[in-house]
Amino acid sequence: MTGYVDWLEQQGKQSAASVRASVTRHVIVPWPELADSKANSLTRRDLTRVVSRIVEANAGREAAKVRSYLRAAYAAALRADGDATIPAGLQGFNLESNPAADIAALTQFSKTRDTALTAPELRALWARLQLAGRVTGAALRLCLLLGGQRPTQLIRVRSEDIDLHSGTVTLFDPKGRRTQARAHVLPLTEQAKAELSPWLALNNGYVLSSTGGRVALREETLSNAFRGIADAMLEAGELAKPVRLADLRRTVETLLAGAGNHGGEVP
């Protein structure tokens, strides 16, 4: 698995850090004897035990992710001997099959969420975001100011992706099997410019960074910051139910659709 994660990092995949953290937590630490075994000695039963442990911990969605990581790692190793783009770390496993391919799909844990904040809840969130950490607060506010953009794309924005003169920012979407990330050019409102300008002046490289632009803000850091805010709002009665960072995109879409049905005013 480490060779697979190294390969993701070499490709610049934004998911690499999340995959490494998940594999370390759910495979390497609890199953050291399996982690030290040769890949071609593991069976479907071995890998099913790994996934079952996560399901039993009431982490169904995480179990589904680990299942997909195992399948993808074995699939990459299987084709490595005939694919020059895959590094040596994934070659030489002498695999004949993918033991993770037949682990039953966990579709019951992959249901699409429909949670969205109401307008009053969003206003309460916005008030709390004014008091959030410097870089995480700015990133979360920009997620909303830019129309509910995906945090994974926003935190990768670099200095050259922003043009304050023309009032645009370019985000790159690497999702899917495309070899080159698709560019999304978005207009910047005056409020969005005001959020970005100080960071653009401060950092040369990744804009949303506390290291001068050398290292991008981590998605886990942003997610944890949002979780803390959401938990505090739930405890204070400002939210009707728990929300995740991913729900911000759906919230903006829902409220904008509602605004269209109400003459352009957000309800």
Residues 6+ positions from 261 with CB-CB distance below 8 Å? none
Length of the chain as a residue count: 267
> Tens digit of pLDDT for each residue in 179-198?
577 888 999 999 999 999 99
Q: What pLDDT is stored for residue 266 in this prediction?
A: 42
Tens digits of residue pLDDT in 203-257:
999 999 989 999 999 888 999 999 999 999 999 999 999 898 989 998 998 888 8
Query: For position 18, what pLDDT does the model report?
Result: 77
Q: Which residues, listed in sequence order, are joined to residue 187 by a DSSP beta bridge?
A: 168
Cα–Cα distance between 47 and 51 in angstroms, integer?
Answer: 7
**What residues contact 189, with CB distance under 8 A and at least 6 apart?**
145
Residue 188: both structure tokens together: 């910047």
**Percent of the chain whose predicted confidence (pLDDT) is above 90:** 48
CA 118, CA 238: separation in Å to the nearest integer? 10
Domains of the chain: 2-109 (no CATH), 119-260 (1.10.443.10)
Q: Is 205 left (phi over 0), alpha (psi -120 to 50) or beta?
A: left
Average pLDDT, the chain: 85
Q: Which two tokens stand for residue 262?
A: 């109400």
Determine the average pLDDT of the residues in 134-151: 93
- The answer, yes or no, to whether residue 178 has pLDDT greater than 60, is no
Q: pLDDT tens, 105-130?
A: 887 776 556 788 999 999 999 999 99
Taking the model in full, what pTM does it have? 0.62
